[in-house]
């Protein structure tokens, strides 16, 4: 009986080691390819001299073994309105802060009010059938006086305090965390947003890595 | 996994479909079971939605708090409040720093108004009483239209109409008056804590009706006969502030307190005199005689002096000593201090004041003799209460004699707090239509035929005039939580429906505005619209009143007969006097359904979640009772079951019971399980204008049922550890011998085992002045509100698992007759050598770069080693996950994590406020200024006993106070923990 347990534990250790190594190799490969948006930064120092918790290891997130898919990279929920950042940002050249106006004024980068959308879309009706359909959805919400039930892409746990204002004012580009939003038809989570990921950047930028900077 | 509504409110309005936190516990289970097997356990979704606003403006910036200034209506003091709202919901109430009454501070009850707003047992829509099949009444929801139609048709009907309401001021009172005169309604005001007897006595002695404005800050000696001015009496926040200012002076104020039961106010006295109940009159009389003897009051005029002399002639030292049980020595020392002082203040009130009007008159005369009137007593310069017992008793009689056509009750509970003998309940039941405007259930509202729920004061417009020169504005701080209406609007709408509108131009909001524009015109302002907006922003219009009321003391007649206790039929032996008193936890019994107040330990007894009976051990022995027993307190009128709390600090043959509300109010009041102590009071049909609380003798015997007594503090003694230290000062104001600290002395610098840290810019520290701390517990409630601390309930409290991060320890030194009580606020000391840190196996608790002892909740695995190793016992463990029943969850502060079960928690020095201040400072490119960060406890403290700041900065207040002579650190000399919290020793006179 004890032998079986020993083998079991050994197998698990083996699998874990394999996963870590595999992930490292993959990450290195991704970084070499030079993808459009920066990946999670370098992995060194995740262990934090042994002080990091096991679940902060990127491995658990990457393979979605733990936690929900909403907390992992690649989460791409279907939105009530098929809003395209490609059209708005890449093609029309609208600045991020034109719609997300309070990102530099508040800890939260709020979703723009329906009124903000209607500022343009009371005039702009769209060109293609598809666009017209989506814009009509917006007009429906507006005329009914209902808020649009957007699906949240970046869900953070309750114990985390992230201040958008501080980061934007410090010159951190939106893309560093959110990825190449201008190229996204549907917004997708490109960063793990795990603690190790945050700390990596804080270390690079020589920002404080005191727990109370982010934990509340 | 159990599905749960998330309380995590970030950004725009969001709704969670399930638990928002990755369950830490389930994660551990997974680890235990083997990594690969646990996949399904964590499959719960964390999907969230974001609902953006429809329209935006710069004031509505999600994530940034919006503050509204308003006025507190929990008692009649009229403190200004600033309400912090996040994403459209009120999350915290603080004092308005502009307001002259409270200057930024607020008491425990005022802050708990939030839980009145979000009371889960609030009346949510108009209700109508109907009978079910069994013939039992129940309330059925109806529409506003239907409900108002019934009221308006009753208004048109024939017969006598009555309004019974609580004390109101300003526009609301005016519209009530207009409404009742239009529809020919008899109006009664009833509030047992209105202190109208003080106003009456002022009329008799000074010739001005109204409560005098007492200036505690200007007095050198204060003598109080049972007036608990630091708790519930007249204007506690203002008085506490002034009292503390007087105590902080180089020559602190000397304070004597005479009462039968040690109250929180009494616990702050330099000399506490335990009197037998009802004997205060004799002492006051003797005092007058002594003052006349020592030739005081020579300038009062011969007519007045002859009247005073006639009172003095009946005084007798031996009688004063024998009836009160206070030694002659002590009485002489009180009189000596009063005679010698340049300015003094003598007050009476509360339970003692309600017993005898003579006492109040005598006290006013003593102030005349001592020349205090015009200096520390300003007659008629505070509010003028309308509450009148004789009139409501008359109404009660009329209601019983002939059924009323319409009875409206609002903001009062006469069924609870009128004596049973008045038969008010039967009169109410007789009336054809009883309409209640109450927002919460209480004994009276339960009897209503129709309930038109009113908004609470936080959802309403209005104004208040707490004293001349202070006109305070009320504005809604958020949309009504439920389908309720402002009481002003209910009056306007029902009058419109009845065809005789009392206000044509809109709603009650317009009414208040019209009043203020009118007021602006009277002040001859050119731009009255601007005046309105400015007042709204500031919270009111404040000036210093000029002139004083003239003193025409001629009206009072000294009475020869003394009041006696009523001994109703059925009592033969074991006569014990019932001494009910109002407490900060429940005032007049209105606030029983507020969990914060229920879980707030009583400042003196440290009892939570129920009312109790204080009995002297000797009396308890005689009755065969001991602490924790349940007694039945009864007389001819009723019976109340209470747990016994034996204490030396109550007069013998007295049973002291706090006034409290009954279980009718809701789930929390029901859990507390209080009895209605008013049901024993027998003073019906008296000609006095206020209820005599102290009037009846009762029978006390062991009860068959048992009620639990839950106390949060074990030992009453410091056991010589020098936790709360006192510096005794002698009469000549020179520093005396310290009673505790001397034997510790300055100890040598100990050898340090751990590496000593040197914070770079900020080293946060706190300073608590025990001379200023009165034990009022406002800080405790502020901490609950700010930091989302769970209320755990009576059972869990009994297991010693209450969650308060900040508690006030109360210790007794000295003997039974002359106790020296200390109040010691105790929270995480943020030790530089924190014993909790090295024992944590997962680094969940550590020291930050800024000298804080931090706690990372999601890293904590719940070993509780830190709690065991903490020398101050300030760490709290979440044994369970406690819920905030809707809509109480709307109060949750989004800046603070809501902790889950299995996690340790403790005071963080309000890290969220530190971070906010640092954020603002960074925006402006500077360092945080001294005083910019105020933790919730320091912000609300009425006496400003708590100072917070950067210890690294030598010019900060906290550094300066930390270097003072009186400064010491709790247990540091024993343990070398190096706390960041410095205490300043209490200062008491050696009397």
Q: Which pLDDT tens digit goes with each residue over B121-137?
A: 999 999 999 988 888 88
Same domain for B188 and B209?
no
Is pLDDT of A157 > 90? no
* B255 HSE (CA, 13 A, CB side): 29
Say how far apart CA A31 and CA A33 lie, in whole Å. Answer: 5
Distance from CA of B779 to the nearest CA of A (A): 21
CATH number of the domain at B924, please.
3.30.70.20
Q: What percent of chain B has pLDDT over 90?
A: 43
Same domain for B217 and B348?
yes
Mean pLDDT of B580-588: 86
Mean pLDDT of B960-982: 90
- Nearest by CB to B53, which of A70, A113, A163? A113
Same domain for B215 and B307?
yes
Which residues in chain A are contacts of B46 at CB distance < 8 A? 68, 70-71, 155
Same domain for B486 and B618?
no
Q: Is residue B530 included in any domain, yes or no?
A: no
Mean pLDDT of A185-192: 86
Same domain for B301 and B188?
no
Is pLDDT of B236 > 60? yes
What per-residue confidence (pLDDT) applies to B546?
Answer: 59
Is pLDDT of B118 > 90? yes
Same domain for B452 and B419?
yes
- Partner B, chain A 104-163, Cβ-Cβ below 8 Å: 105-116, 142, 145-152, 155-159, 161, 163
Say how far apart CA B741 and CA B526 lie, in whole Å. Answer: 62
Q: Is residue B808 included in any domain, yes or no?
A: no
Same domain for B840 and B932?
yes
The number of domains in chain B is 5
What per-residue confidence (pLDDT) applies to A35?
Answer: 38
Per-residue confidence band for B561, with pLDDT thresholds at 50, 70 and 90:
low
* B953 HSE (CA, 13 A, CB side): 17
Is pLDDT of B735 > 70? no
Range in A90-94, B44-48, B471-475 with the lowest mean pLDDT: B44-48
What lies within 8 Å, CB to CB, of B611 at 6+ separation is B642, B657, B658, B659, B660, B672, B674, B675, B677
Tens of pLDDT, residue by residue over A135-152, are: 999 999 989 988 889 988
What per-residue confidence (pLDDT) applies to B780?
Answer: 95
Same domain for B289 and B421?
no
Is pLDDT of B612 > 80? yes
Same domain for B439 and B453?
yes
Per-residue confidence band for B587, with pLDDT thresholds at 50, 70 and 90:
confident
Per-residue confidence band for B323, with pLDDT thresholds at 50, 70 and 90:
confident
Which residues in chain B are contacts of A55 at CB distance < 8 A? 27
What per-residue confidence (pLDDT) applies to B409?
Answer: 93
The number of beta carbons lying within 10 Å of the beta carbon of residue B8 is 21
Is pLDDT of B181 > 70? yes
Per-residue confidence band for B296, with pLDDT thresholds at 50, 70 and 90:
confident
**Pick among B26, B40, B48, B889 to test the A interface (most A CBs inside 10 A):** B48
In this complex, is the C-beta atom of A7 within 8 Å of any C-beta atom belonging to chain B?
no
Is pLDDT of A36 > 80? no
Say how far apart CA B725 and CA B718 lie, in whole Å. Answer: 10
Is pLDDT of B554 > 90? no
Which residues in chain A are contacts of B20 at CB distance < 8 A? 157-158
Which residues in chain A are contacts of B922 at CB distance < 8 A? 166, 169
What per-residue confidence (pLDDT) applies to A66?
Answer: 54
- Nearest by CB to B61, which of A15, A105, A158? A105
More confident site: B27 or B895 = B895
Mean pLDDT of B735-748: 50
Is pLDDT of B532 > 60? yes
> Considering B358, B378, B398, which residue would you say is the last residue of a domain?
B378
In this complex, is the C-beta atom of A13 within 8 Å of any C-beta atom belonging to chain B?
no
Contact A159 B912 (CB under 8 A): no
Say how far apart CA A193 and CA B152 lie, in whole Å. Answer: 61
The mean of the pLDDT values for chain B is: 85
Q: H/E element holding B51?
A: strand B48-51
Distance from CA of B786 to the nearest CA of A (A): 13
Range in B212-226, B369-383, B938-952 with the lowest mean pLDDT: B369-383
Which residues are paired to B13 by β-bridges?
B51
What per-residue confidence (pLDDT) applies to B588?
Answer: 81
Mean pLDDT of A191-200: 83
Say how far apart CA B427 and CA B444 lie, in whole Å. Answer: 11
Q: Is residue B105 included in any domain, yes or no?
A: no
- Residue B933 backbone dihedrals phi, psi, to 5 degrees: -95, 125
Per-residue confidence band for B11, with pLDDT thresholds at 50, 70 and 90:
very low
Closest-CA residue in chain B for A15? B36
What lies within 8 Å, CB to CB, of B897 at 6+ separation is A158, A159, A215, A216, B788, B857
Q: Is residue B540 included in any domain, yes or no?
A: no
Per-residue confidence band for A67, with pLDDT thresholds at 50, 70 and 90:
low
> Considering B378, B397, B428, which residue would you say is the last residue of a domain?
B378
ipTM over 0.90: no
Q: Is residue B50 included in any domain, yes or no?
A: yes
Q: Is residue B680 included in any domain, yes or no?
A: yes
Which residues in chain B are contacts of A148 at CB distance < 8 A? 51-52
- Residue B296 backbone dihedrals phi, psi, to 5 degrees: -90, 155
Per-residue confidence band for B552, with pLDDT thresholds at 50, 70 and 90:
low
Most confident residue range from B170-179, B315-324, B352-361: B170-179
CB-neighbour burial class of residue B146 (10 A; exposed 0-12, middle 13-18, buried 19+): exposed
CATH number of the domain at B479, please.
3.40.50.740
Long-range CB contacts (within 8 A, 24+) of B571-574 = B571/B635, B571/B636, B571/B697, B571/B698, B571/B699, B574/B622, B574/B623, B574/B699, B574/B700
What per-residue confidence (pLDDT) applies to A44?
Answer: 34
Say how far apart CA B731 and CA B221 lie, in whole Å. Answer: 12
What per-residue confidence (pLDDT) applies to B686?
Answer: 56
Same domain for B833 and B980?
yes
- Nearest by CB to A51, which of B22, B50, B843? B843
- Do the beta carbons of residue B920 and residue B864 sit within 8 Å? no
What per-residue confidence (pLDDT) applies to B543?
Answer: 85
Print the domain residue range for B19: 1-60
In this complex, is the C-beta atom of A173 within 8 Å of any C-beta atom belonging to chain B?
no
Number of residues assigned to chain A: 216
CATH number of the domain at B662, please.
2.40.40.20
What per-residue confidence (pLDDT) applies to A33?
Answer: 44
Contact A152 B49 (CB under 8 A): yes
Number of residues assigned to chain B: 991
Same domain for B205 and B266?
yes
- Nearest by CB to B44, which of A68, A112, A210? A68
Say how far apart CA B37 and CA A88 lie, in whole Å. Answer: 45
Same domain for B373 and B391?
no
| Secondary structure E strands in B98-144 | 127-131, 137-141
Closest-CA residue in chain B for A144? B54
What per-residue confidence (pLDDT) applies to B734?
Answer: 52
> Considering B711, B728, B749, which residue would you say is the last residue of a domain?
B711
Per-residue confidence band for B313, with pLDDT thresholds at 50, 70 and 90:
confident
Tens of pLDDT, residue by residue over B630-681, are: 999 888 888 899 999 999 999 988 999 998 888 888 888 888 877 788 888 8
Q: Is residue B837 included in any domain, yes or no?
A: yes
What per-residue confidence (pLDDT) applies to B82?
Answer: 94
Mean pLDDT of B897-909: 91
Is pLDDT of B499 > 90? no
Mean pLDDT of B196-216: 87
Q: Is residue B519 included in any domain, yes or no?
A: no
What per-residue confidence (pLDDT) applies to B72?
Answer: 93
């Amino acid at each position: 009986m004890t032998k079986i347990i020993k083998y079991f534990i050994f197998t698990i250790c083996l699998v874990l080691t394999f996963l870590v190594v595999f992930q490292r190799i993959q990450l290195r490969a991704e970084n070499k390819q030079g993808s459009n948006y920066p990946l999670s930064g370098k992995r060194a120092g995740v262990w934090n001299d042994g002080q990091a918790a096991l679940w902060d290891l990127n491995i658990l997130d990457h393979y979605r073994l733990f936690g929900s898919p909403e907390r992992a990279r690649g989460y791409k929920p279907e939105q009530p309105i098929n809003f395209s950042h490609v059209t708005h940002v890449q093609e029309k050249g609208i600045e991020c802060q034109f719609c997300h106006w309070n990102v530099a004024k508040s800890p939260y980068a709020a979703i723009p009010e329906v009124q903000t959308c209607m500022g343009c879309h009371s005039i702009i009706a769209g060109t293609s059938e598809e666009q017209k359909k989506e814009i009509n959805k917006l007009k429906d919400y507006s005329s009914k006086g209902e808020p649009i039930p957007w699906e949240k892409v970046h869900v953070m746990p309750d114990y985390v305090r992230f201040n958008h204002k501080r980061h934007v004012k410090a010159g951190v580009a939106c893309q560093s965390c959110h990825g190449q939003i201008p190229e996204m038809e549907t917004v997708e989570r490109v960063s793990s947003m795990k603690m190790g990921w945050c700390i990596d950047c804080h270390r690079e930028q020589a920002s404080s890595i005191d727990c109370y900077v982010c934990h509340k | 996994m159990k599905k749960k509504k998330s309380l995590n409110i970030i950004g725009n309005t969001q709704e969670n479909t399930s638990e928002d936190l990755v369950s830490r516990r389930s994660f551990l289970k997974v680890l235990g079971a083997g990594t690969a097997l646990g996949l399904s356990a964590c499959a719960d979704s964390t999907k969230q939605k974001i609902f953006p606003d429809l329209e935006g403006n710069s004031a509505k910036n999600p994530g940034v708090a919006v503050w509204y200034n308003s006025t507190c209506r929990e008692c009649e003091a009229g403190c200004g409040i600033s309400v912090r709202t996040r994403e459209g919901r009120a999350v915290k109430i603080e004092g308005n720093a502009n307001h002259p009454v409270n200057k930024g501070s607020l008491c425990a009850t005022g802050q708990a108004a939030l839980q009145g707003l979000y009371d889960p047992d609030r009346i949510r829509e108009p209700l109508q009483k109907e009978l079910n099949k069994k013939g039992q009444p129940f309330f059925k929801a109806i529409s506003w239209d239907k409900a108002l139609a019934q009221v308006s048709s009753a208004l048109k009907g024939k017969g006598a109409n009555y309004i019974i309401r609580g004390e109101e001021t300003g526009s609301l009172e005016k519209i009530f008056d207009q409404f009742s005169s239009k529809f020919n309604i008899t109006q009664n005001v009833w509030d047992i804590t209105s202190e109208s007897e003080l106003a009456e006595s002022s009329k008799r002695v000074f010739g001005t009706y109204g409560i005098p404005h007492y200036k505690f800050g200007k007095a050198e000696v204060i003598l109080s006969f049972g007036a608990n001015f630091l708790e519930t009496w007249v204007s506690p926040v203002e008085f506490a502030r002034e009292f503390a200012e007087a105590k902080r002076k180089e020559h602190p104020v000397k304070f004597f307190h005479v009462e039968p039961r040690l109250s929180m106010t009494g616990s702050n006295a330099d000399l506490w005199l335990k009197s037998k109940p009802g004997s205060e009159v004799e002492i006051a009389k003797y005092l007058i005689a002594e003052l006349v003897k020592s030739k005081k009051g020579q300038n009062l005029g011969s007519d007045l002096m002859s009247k005073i002399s006639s009172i003095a002639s009946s005084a007798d030292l031996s009688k004063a000593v024998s009836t009160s049980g206070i030694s002659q020595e002590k009485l002489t020392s009180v009189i000596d201090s009063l005679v010698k002082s340049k300015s003094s203040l003598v007050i009476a009130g509360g339970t003692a004041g309600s017993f005898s009007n003579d006492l109040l008159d005598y006290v006013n005369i003593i102030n005349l003799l001592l020349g205090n009137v015009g200096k520390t007593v300003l007659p008629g310069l505070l509010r003028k209460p309308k509450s009148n017992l004789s009139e409501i008793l008359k109404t009660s009689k009329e209601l019983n004699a002939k059924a009323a056509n319409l009875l409206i009750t609002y903001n009062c509970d006469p069924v609870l707090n009128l004596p049973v003998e008045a038969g008010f309940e039967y009169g109410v039941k007789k009336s054809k239509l009883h309409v209640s405007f109450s927002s919460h259930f209480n004994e009276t509202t339960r009897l209503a035929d129709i309930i038109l729920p009113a908004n609470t004061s936080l959802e309403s417009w209005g104004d208040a005039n707490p004293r001349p020169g202070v006109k305070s504005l009320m504005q809604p701080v958020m949309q009504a939580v439920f389908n309720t209406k402002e009481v002003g609007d209910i009056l306007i709408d029902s009058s419109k429906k009845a065809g005789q509108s009392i206000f044509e131009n809109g709603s009650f909001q317009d009414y208040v505005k019209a009043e203020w524009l009118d007021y602006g015109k009277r002040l001859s302002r050119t731009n009255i619209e601007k005046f309105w907006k400015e007042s709204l922003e500031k919270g009111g219009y404040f000036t210093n009143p000029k002139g004083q009321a003239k003193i025409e003391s001629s009206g009072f007649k000294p009475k020869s007969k003394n009041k006696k206790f009523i001994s109703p039929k059925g009592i033969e032996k074991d006569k014990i006097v019932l001494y009910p008193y109002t407490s900060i936890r429940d005032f007049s019994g209105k606030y029983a359904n507020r969990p914060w107040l229920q879980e707030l330990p009583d400042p003196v007894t440290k009892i939570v979640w129920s009312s109790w009976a204080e009995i002297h051990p000797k009396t308890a022995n005689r009755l065969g009772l001991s602490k924790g027993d349940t007694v039945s307190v009864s007389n001819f009128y009723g019976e109340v079951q209470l747990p016994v709390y034996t204490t030396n600090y109550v007069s013998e043959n007295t049973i002291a019971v706090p006034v409290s509300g009954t279980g009718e109010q809701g789930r929390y009041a029901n859990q507390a399980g209080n009895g209605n102590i008013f049901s024993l009071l027998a003073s019906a049909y008296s000609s006095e204008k206020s209820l005599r609380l102290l009037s009846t003798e009762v029978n006390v015997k062991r009860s068959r049922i048992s009620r639990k007594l839950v106390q949060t503090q074990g030992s009453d003694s410091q056991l010589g550890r020098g936790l709360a230290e006192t510096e005794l000062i002698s009469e000549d104001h020179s520093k005396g011998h310290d009673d505790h600290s001397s034997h510790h002395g300055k100890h040598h610098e100990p050898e340090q085992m751990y590496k000593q840290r040197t914070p770079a810019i900020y080293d946060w520290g706190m300073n608590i002045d025990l001379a200023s701390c009165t034990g009022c517990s406002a800080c405790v409630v502020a901490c609950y509100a700010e930091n989302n601390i769970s209320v755990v309930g009576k059972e869990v409290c009994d297991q010693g698992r209450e969650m308060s991060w900040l508690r006030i320890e109360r210790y007794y030194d000295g003997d039974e007759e002359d106790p020296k009580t200390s109040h010691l606020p105790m929270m995480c000391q943020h030790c530089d050598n924190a014993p909790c840190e090295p024992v944590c196996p997962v680094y969940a608790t550590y020291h930050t770069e800024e000298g804080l002892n931090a706690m990372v909740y999601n890293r904590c695995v719940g070993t509780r080693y830190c709690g065991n190793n903490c020398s101050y016992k300030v760490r709290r463990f979440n044994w369970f996950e406690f819920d905030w029943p809707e809509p109480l969850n709307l109060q949750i502060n989004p800046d603070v994590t809501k902790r889950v079960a299995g996690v340790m928690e403790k005071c963080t020095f309000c890290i969220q406020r530190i971070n906010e201040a640092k954020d603002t400072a960074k925006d402006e490119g500077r360092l945080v200024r001294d005083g910019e960060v105020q933790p919730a406890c320091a912000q609300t403290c009425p006496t400003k006993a708590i100072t917070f700041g950067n210890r690294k900065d030598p010019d900060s207040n906290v550094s300066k106070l930390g270097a003072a002579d009186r400064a010491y650190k709790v247990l540091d000399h024993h343990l070398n923990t190096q706390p960041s919290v410095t205490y300043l020793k209490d200062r008491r006179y050696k009397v």
